Amino acid sequence: MIPAAPKKTSGSFEKAEKDGALREIEEALDAHERALHVEPGTWTLASELDGGASTRRFFRVVSPESSAIAMYTPLPSQEISKAKQASGNGPFLQVQQLLAAHDLPVPKIIAEEHGKVLLVEDLGDFTLARHLEKYPEDRELLYKQAIELLARARLALLEPPPESSICQRAFDEELLRWEVEHFKDWVLEARGIFLNSQQASIFDNAANFLAKHIAALPRGFVHRDYQSRNLMVVNKGLVWIDFQDAMMGPRAYDLVALLTDSYQSFSPNFIEERLEQYAALTGSPLQELRQEFDLITVQRKLKDAGRFIFIDRQNSNSQFLKFVNPTIRR
C-alpha cells in the first residue's frame, strides 16, 4: 500500500542508517534529476511512511514544486510467493496500466528510475480508515463508491489480457488451503495450542471443503486486499492502492475483504445493503452472492488471524495483534 502516517522526518536519515532501501532510493532520485535536467539535490527524502503489514517500504520525497512517493519493493513475502508473484515493480506497473485503461482510480506513475524503486503520485495522508476516524459521517457515501468501483472492475475484467500478471495467479485450491493452514500454524500451534487427532481431522476436512468449494467458483479480477487501509480518499473520491497482488478469484472475494475488514465494524444491515448494491450493479443473483460471501468470509478471516500473528512473530511487528480476536469474531 501507499500508506499515510509519517514515521521518520528527513532529519532522522543519519548516515549510519543508510540501509539498502535508502541507498537505492537516493540513486533513483539522482537518476530522476538527471532525466529532468535539474540541479542535483532538487529531490530529497522527507519522511518514511508506515508500511503497515507490507514488506515494501515507502518514503515521501519532495522538490520545491511537488512531492511523490518512493516505493521500495524487496523480494516477495512468503505468502505472496505462494501466489506466483515475481519480485520488483513489474506487477504493480502492469496492474496500474490495466486499471487506468478502464478508468479505475489508481495513482499516476512518475518514474521508474532504478531497480526496486518506483516513484508514484503522492495521494496525501488519508486512507479510508483514517478519513473515517475524522469524518465518520462520510462512511455510507464512500462505501457506496467503493462498491461501485469494485463492480465496474469486475465487469470490465472478467477476462483480463492473458499476458497480464493477473492471469498468472489465482485463488486455486493450493493457495486457499495454505492460507487456512496459516491459522493452525500461527493462531494455534505458535501459541502452544495443539489439536488432538479428532480435532485435526475436523480441521483438515473443513479446510479442504473451503479450499475446494471456493476454488471452484467462477473467476474474474480480484484486487485481493480491498479494504479501508488500501483505499485513499482524495477530494472525497477513492483511489486504489496495493493492487500489485491482483489475481483471478471469485466475485465475492473483494466484497469480503471490504465488508469484513478487520479494521472496521459494520452492522448486518449495512453489509446486506452493500451486497444488494453490488448484485444490482453486476447482475449477480443475490442469494448466490450471499452464500459465496459467507463461505469466503470463513476462509479469509482464518487466514487474516494467522497472518497477524505471523507478522508479529516473524517481522517483530505487534501492531496487528489487537485485531486477532475481532477477526476471529467476524
- d(CA 179, CA 215) in angstroms, rounded, equals 13
Please give the Cα distance from 256 to 294 (Å, whole number).
8
Strands (E), the chain: 6-9, 44-49, 57-62, 67-72, 109-114, 117-121, 219-222, 231-234, 237-240, 247-250
- The SS3 assignment for 184 reads helix
Least confident range of 60-69, 217-226, 266-275:
60-69
**How far apart are alpha carbons 44 and 25 in whole angstroms?**
10
Tell me what the mean pLDDT of segment 102-114 comes to.
88
DSSP state of 320: T
pLDDT tens by residue, 157-205: 999 999 998 999 999 999 999 999 999 999 999 999 999 999 999 999 9
* pLDDT given at position 76: 57
Q: Tell me the Cα Rg of the chain.
A: 20
3-state secondary structure of 126: coil
Q: What's the pLDDT at 56?
A: 81
Residue reference for cell 496500466: 97
- Note the pLDDT of residue 55: 73
- Which single residue is written with the C-alpha cell 469480503? 256
Question: Distance (Å, rounded) from C-alpha 246 to C-alpha 290?
Answer: 23
pLDDT of residue 82: 55
pLDDT higher than threshold 70 for residue 105: yes
pTM attached to this predicted model: 0.89
Q: Residues 88, 52: contact at Cβ < 8 Å?
A: no
What is the spatial distance between Cα 83 and Cα 247, in angstroms, rounded to a whole number?
8
Q: Which residue has the cell 500451534?
A: 189
What would the pLDDT profile of 7-52 be if each residue is shown by its tens digit? 544 444 444 345 777 888 888 888 888 888 889 888 998 889 877 6
What is the per-residue pLDDT across 255-279, written as a single tens digit (0 to 9) for each?
999 999 999 999 999 999 999 999 9
Is the model's pLDDT at 85 over the cut of 60? no
